[in-house]
Amino acid sequence: MWDVLTEALKVGRARLGDKASEVTRLEIDLTHSYRPLNPAKQWQQILDEAAHKVPRHQGIRGLRVRQGERLDLWAPTWQIASNQANAQLLEATRKRWNQSEEEFATNEFHSFEADQVLVRLDRQPIEAVALFRGNRLVDVGEVDQAATERLATGMKDWLVHNLRADGRLTYMIYPATGREDSGNNMIRQWMATNAMIRWAQDRNDAALFDRVEQNIDYGVAHFYSQDGALGRINEGPKVKLGAVALAGMAMYTHPKHDKWATQIAGLRAMVDELWHEDGSFSSFYAGGDQEFWNFYPGEALLFWATIYAKEQDPEILRKYKISVPFYTKWHLEPNNRNPAFVPWHLQANYTLWTALGSDEAEFKDELLQFSFTIADWLVEVQQWDASDKLNYPDEKGRFYVPDKGYGVPHASSTGVYIEGLIDAWQFARDVGDEARKEKYRVALIRALRSMMQLQFVDDVDMYYVEDPTLIAGGIRTTVYKSDIRCDNVQHPLMGIIKLLRMFEADEYGDAG
């Protein structure tokens, strides 16, 4: 093995010539355990895997395809660095080799394992770091108060560094190249605005409030309009209830909210317009005909609860009381159970619950019991060991049920569940339910482990990043997919800010 590695380094230096001295990292995959694959079956299997966006072995197992003298081979660390699934890599080879799918399926395929090593040549003495899926493996025992503070600060820094001079926030970026994605999403953008406001409030950060003011002004200038008294947040032809509510909440909670009084009034009027006397909301004012009841109504109720906590508006409370039984009944139908519903209603319910007086004891208990019901159920969809169909240890702590059809594993999902569970923990703390408080605490610590695994931290996990300035502190979409979307960062930050505020140092331990 050493002879082969020495020869490879010699060839590499020769190819680089004078530039060889500029190399600061060596990415080495020591391959073993080659497995022949049934070509036709594996080709379809890989395509199916890619279609479901859950390439379990990406970055763990390499792939080799051979046809006569032609050979393509992808090391696991290359899969991570290129941010491409096996199906994409194979499809590129098939086209380059000018073969039909039928012809390509007759080639020789192998998967293989690899011990991954990153050698840091610019260290004295030179260091070698063992990698797992192109990263260090984070142990849950590393989750303490200081590490959580670093995690949150890194996420805040990512948001600030990706907030442009004109107030525009990066929607999504690809770390290897620094290229921004051309897409956008108003719900995610305004959620990120809310996250920066929460950090600024918590840390009394006047400079960040000023930057968020620019961000809100940018959003108003580019995406806000009015139909009479109704305020719109436009995303192409669509006006989504969730985007309207979250934009309104951002403007409402900023210290300079009077600056956007007209827009806030318009957005409140739009939420009212989309509410119905049976308690339901319409998901769209324009451009959509589906109902996204797992997301948008909870976002609207959180906006209302935020307003009620300040204004004690009896009309908001009247409508909220009608919506709670409507969505309780809807969500508890077996075919409607979905984790995405839970965190928004936990946040909304706790915000309202804390604002209600003793004269609303019966309704407060209704909010409490429903919140415990959905929080208890949410904890059960967190992956931690083999019984949860966990594939690899770097996946531990995420929320995903492979066989339930709840979507795909995603940093933003685990992040938003942190947002909800910290409020569930507060419910349990406030009523003295120690068993639930401990259950939610353990789930939160495990989720923090997942976030730490996904965060870009240093020159080890950014070995393939050309410019770390806009990447450091960001949160990967998954352990095998390196792109950073703004809500990957925003969701967990919103919850972790609260967690840091309330957890004592000894509450971070013992979650194995």
Q: DSSP assignment of 475-499, as one string?
A: B-SBTTB--EEHHHHHHHHHHHHHH
Q: What is the pLDDT of residue 53?
A: 53
Q: What is the pLDDT of residue 249?
A: 98
Q: What is the pLDDT of residue 54?
A: 56
**Per-residue pLDDT tens digits for 391-427:** 899 999 999 988 887 888 999 999 999 999 999 999 9
Query: Which of 487, 342, 492 is closest to 406 using CA atoms?
Result: 342
Given a cut of 60, is residue 174 above it in pLDDT?
yes
Q: If you average pLDDT over residues 276-288, what whole number do you get?
A: 97
**Per-residue pLDDT tens digits for 138-171:** 999 999 999 999 999 999 999 999 999 999 999 9
The burial class, CB within 10 Å (0-12 / 13-18 / 19+), for 458 is exposed
State both tokens at 182. Answer: 């051309």
Q: If you average pLDDT over residues 91-114, what whole number do you get?
A: 90
Band (pLDDT 50/70/90 cuts) for residue 43 is: low
* Of 229-233, 387-391, 505-509, the least confident: 387-391
Taking the C-alpha atoms of residue 23 and residue 38, their distance in angstroms, rounded to an integer, is: 39
Measured over the CA atoms of residue 250, residue 252, residue 258 and residue 261, the dihedral's sign is positive
Given a cut of 60, is residue 86 above it in pLDDT?
yes
Given a cut of 90, is residue 84 above it in pLDDT?
no
Three-state secondary structure call for residue 64: strand
The separation between the first and the last C-alpha atoms of the chain, rounded to the nearest angstrom, is 37
